[in-house]
Amino acid sequence: MAGLVDSVLGLINKTPKDPDAPKPPVGSRSEREAKIKDKAGLVINVFALLLALNAWYGGKLSSTVMNNTISANNQWAWYQAKNVRGVIYETAHRGDKGRYRDWETDRKSTRLNSSH
């Protein structure tokens, strides 16, 4: 863990690879530009990380919304099918009394078994 911290700090502080290499004068334009570019690169990386996290979380939420929408549509389709079946049985009842008894039995068992 300490090695990781040292390597990250080494990236931020930018120690030269060759300690004998000539250094620009302190406060020179090229030294200031190098520091600014290093800090700008770090800021860009942080923003890229935040953007990636935002995209991941947004994708997760859109999946949740889609699943909830599908569930609501399934419940509505079940309700519509139940009502259509009731109308069919009621219409059939007008012509045949035996079917009406079957519809009553089916309706009562559906009401007892449904957990919606």
Q: What is the pLDDT of residues 37-92, one digit of tens each?
A: 889 989 999 999 999 999 888 888 888 888 899 999 999 999 999 988 888 888 87
Indicate the domain borders of the chain: 30-113
Residue 6, exposed/middle/buried by CB under 10 A (0-12, 13-18, 19+)?
A: exposed
Higher pLDDT, 32 or 45: 45
User: What rounded mean pLDDT belongs to the chain?
Assistant: 77
Whole-number pLDDT of residue 60: 80
Query: Percent of the chain scored above 90 by pLDDT?
Result: 19
